[in-house]
Chains A and B, each alone.
Chain A
Amino acid sequence: MQNNTVVITGIGLISSLGEGADAHWQALNGSAGPRVDSETFKPYTVHPLGEVDWNNQIPKRGDQRQMETWQRLGTYAAGLALQDAGIKDDEALCSTMDMVVAAGGGERDVTVDTQILAEARVRNDLGTMLNEKLTTELRPTLFLAQLSNLLAGNISIVHKVTGSSRTFMGEEGAGISALDTAAARIRSGQSTHALVGGSYNSEHPDMLLGYELNGMLKSDGWAPLWQREGSAGGGVITGSGGAFLVLESADHAAKRGARVYAAIDGIYSAQIRRKREDLKETIAKLVGAASADKPAGLIVSGATGAHGITATEKAALDVFASAAIRGVAGRVGHLREAQFPLAVGLAALSLFHGAAFPPIDAKNEKAASGGLDTALATSIGATRGEGVARLVKV
């Protein structure tokens, strides 16, 4: 079995900070605060998208119409990643490229749902009413625009990535497994190049409802990520965005003269039973394994903001005193399935630039010192799934 080095050669990001790897790097190094909207979904806060010209990455209007926002975000970020890697429109490379997408599900039709809820208050024959409304009011193509694996399907259609197409589900864990699987396949020689990532639309009430059923959203405005314990609600502030990465074997990248951001040295994951196993110990073990031979200068944390879990992660990370910690949800919000790809992408960008970006929450994150040759990225799920990636400078 082969033991290839896995490198990142393309980073495609879109979020409230803008679009593209460079725009994100500049925003993270700039002095502006986070972009938030605490009005539209009051009392909840989200990190909204700015203006996006979808035509840049999804040229056909017909394709745009077939997607709900999360699919458009993912397809857009995938296009940015392919472009960044110099693979976009390269038919030979795209048609042999593997794809692993971390997906949730999709945005329902708020108008139809509201109509049904209203009817339900005045009718006793709920089953009959439901059939009446669903058969007459649902847009036939909406199903596909919601369906989890159709983000990958749209990427195949729009960007012609057709080597393979796999969609992983399961909140933050899906993002961890997607990167882990793609990297493991390249490392072992089962794949030479792959597109991996996910997307999330925070600006939809059904997406908020998914969290709020468990009381997980912060409900008293924005606060820095590491300062949310004890605030009203559950601490999570979601963000809209997408994060896709192009992974290749080092040989494959070298042969085509691709620019390399960083190498993924290892991905360490777990899913403990949090009710009976110690989360802090688990995170410490994963981070410890990821920095066994050499401490990392930077840990890009994908912490969700969820009360308790986020504090536990911070406490576990603080033990690794040499690392500068950066909680990216404090700047772009929590992107659920896309959070790990986002954190890994930002860690790779930092290694490429040879330095960590400045603290996002200066009270709780220290300035970085010296050059950077090893960085970690974490995603500790709001309810389950724990992952740490180790990236090294190439």
Chain B
Amino acid sequence: MSKYTDHLGRPLVAVTGLGVVSSLGQGKQDNWAALTSGTSGIHTITRFALDNLRTQIAGTVDFLKESDEGASALSEKLASLAAEEAIAQAGFDTENFGGPLFLAAPPVELEWRNRFALDALVKSEGEPGYDLLLAACRRGTQEAMFHTTEFGYIAERLADTFGTRGLPITLSTACASGATAIQLGVEAIRRGESDRVLSIGTDGSVSAEALVRFSLLSALSTQNNPAHKAAKPFSKDRDGFVMAEGSGALVMESLESAVARGAKILGIMRGCGEKADDFHRTRSKPDGSPAIGAVRAALDDAGINEDAINYINAHGTSTPENDKMEYLALSTVFGERISTLPLSSNKSMIGHTLTAAGAIEAVFSMLTIGTGTIPPTINYDNPDPAIVLDVVPNVKREASVSAVLSSSFGFGGQNTCLVMTAEPH
């Protein structure tokens, strides 16, 4: 084990660039100021009509021109802003990054506005339906609409903008996607495929249909008033997550190459672990074994003992199921210490940024390591007595944090955890 390799002789992976956008704002500075002051970005939705919707709140990003241009355009813009910030901080050329791209992006579909527009082209010609939409396409191609439906389009645009290398990977592991994008980047560096990678999680997909879909699964909070109180992870009266948007980007490098070029090391992406659940499409195995397995796998991969972790950036979605299962998993791994180990959920303020969550929360975890400030879990007014945690309630805390566990769990049995540490001295 040299100073540049880990316990298994693999290259240590340094983080040298971070970028973030959320409903709290654009860039690390604005986000961190809001996050550490306990500010919520959750608000009443203005993007679409709310009639008949049980949930009327979200953490949408409304301050961009692309905010009303659909999931593909907004997801791309969010990713682009976060990536630019991260690459610039790392000191690489923002037009010629030169390493591979791993992009966690939401599945996209032809939006309703486009379906209506297609139908309008041909509505004098027959009954509405797919036959007619297809006939509309035969009159002339709809290239702009086509791009919004292609899963590979956002990554192609980003690759073009930032000059990433090779065939970019677009991925989805549901709400663990952002963490998976980071994991793929770490693995590529460990394999020696590149000395630098760009990992991004982005999600700008809040629409009426997306909201209704989650709503029909009873996954969303319906406590619309006041909006900023709806996301309350680990509280007794938590009733679902709040959909949100944003993006997190990380530039990662082999520590050796980062040091050689004199880059500022923000932290080490020390370990990644995953374990799939075979129990149910939306529920976890009752014994929590897959989540436990993912946490243990991340610690093993990092080569550190659970005692070394001094802060947990929790998945903490604010759904009854997730928070209960996450507590079961963490208390199993950490034992009694879990009740005094600082843990907080960024989702109490920014909501659940879905595909982006793992990446945004990794960015915030790195900022905790760098600044010694732990953001709070807000809206913690009515603790769940069955979940005995130090959630850093309502007010930030100053602490020296050298190792963070960040967990991500998603529908489809997805469980991915990351271990981040301060730069080794």
Contacts and interface: CB of A to CB of B under 8 A. Distances in A.
Nearest to A204: B130
A177 interface: yes
Nearest to A151: B412
Contacts of B180: 166
Given A209-B133, A213-B110, A213-B146, A153 B412 contact: yes
B141 A209 contact: no
A128 B52 contact: yes
A13 interface: no
Contacts of A142: 213
B31 to A, nearest CB: 27
Interface in A168-225: 168-171, 173-174, 176-177, 180-181, 184-185, 188, 190, 205-206, 208-210, 212-215, 219
A162 B276 contact: yes
Contacts of A99: 276
Nearest to A131: B52
A227 interface: no
Contacts of A169: 105, 107, 151-152, 170-172
Interface string B259-289: 0000000000000001111111110000000
Contact of A205 (B107, B130, B275): B130
A144 B281 contact: yes
Contacts of A185: 187, 191
A55 interface: no
Interface in B359-384: none
B119 A117 contact: yes
B124 to A, nearest CB: 10
Contacts of A385: 152, 167
B57 to A, nearest CB: 15
B131 interface: yes
B116 A126 contact: yes
Interface stretch (B79-87, B153-161, B239-247, B316-324): B153-161
Nearest to A100: B171
A138 interface: yes
A384 B153 CA distance: 9
Contacts of B166: 269-271
Given A121-B123, A170-B155, A214 B51 contact: no
B241 to A, nearest CB: 15
Given A131-B208, A166-B180, A117 B128 contact: yes
A212 B107 contact: no
Contact of A213 (B123, B137, B216, B274): B137
Contact of B52 (A66, A132, A153): A132
B411 to A, nearest CB: 7
B412 A170 contact: no
A156 B280 CA distance: 9
A214 B143 contact: yes
A74 interface: no
B280 to A, nearest CB: 7
Contacts of A148: 107, 151, 172
B131 A205 contact: yes
A134 B208 CA distance: 9
B411 A144 contact: yes
Contacts of A177: 167, 169
A157 B167 contact: no
B151 A131 contact: no
A130 B49 contact: yes
A370 interface: no
B192 interface: yes
Contacts of A273: 160
A230 interface: no
Interface string B170-196: 111110000010001001001111000
A233 B129 CA distance: 21
Contacts of B137: 209, 212-213, 215
A157 B281 contact: yes
A149 B128 contact: no
A214 B156 contact: no
Contact of B48 (A127, A147, A181): A127
A257 interface: no
B150 A383 contact: yes
Contact of A157 (B49, B212, B280): B280
Contacts of B276: 99, 152-153, 156, 161-165
Interface string B129-144: 1110110011011110
A143 B192 contact: no
B363 to A, nearest CB: 21
A105 B49 contact: no
B338 interface: no
A149 B280 contact: no
A163 to B, nearest CB: 7
B184 to A, nearest CB: 7
A209 B53 CA distance: 29
Contacts of A131: 49-53, 208, 212
Contact of B282 (A144, A170, A387): A144
B290 to A, nearest CB: 7
Indicate the member of A104, A128, A153 with the most B CB atoms within 10 Å. A153
Interface in B116-130: 116, 119, 123, 127-130
A116 interface: yes
B217 interface: yes
A185 B214 CA distance: 34
B209 interface: yes
A126 B170 CA distance: 32
B191 A150 contact: no
B75 interface: no
Given A127-B49, A138-B213, A212-B137, A165 B413 contact: yes
A166 B184 CA distance: 10
Contact of B172 (A117, A132, A167, A387): A167
Contacts of B278: 156-157, 160-162
A30 interface: no
Nearest to B149: A210
A113 interface: yes
Interface string A105-117: 1001010011011
Contacts of B171: 166-169
Contact of B150 (A110, A154, A171, A209): A171
B49 A134 contact: no
15 contacts: A114-B128, A117-B133, A120-B116, A161-B278, A162-B277, A162-B290, A166-B180, A167-B172, A168-B169, A168-B170, A169-B172, A181-B184, A210-B110, A210-B150, A271-B167
Given A157-B280, A165-B173, A176-B167, 12 more contacts: A103-B172, A147-B174, A162-B276, A170-B168, A173-B167, A174-B152, A184-B193, A210-B149, A214-B141, A219-B138, A271-B159, A271-B167
Interface of A: 1, 44, 66, 99, 103-105, 108, 110, 113-114, 116-118, 120-121, 125-128, 130-132, 134-135, 138, 140, 142-144, 146-150, 152-154, 156-157, 160-171, 173-174, 176-177, 180-181, 184-185, 188, 190, 205-206, 208-210, 212-215, 219, 233, 269-271, 273, 381, 383-387
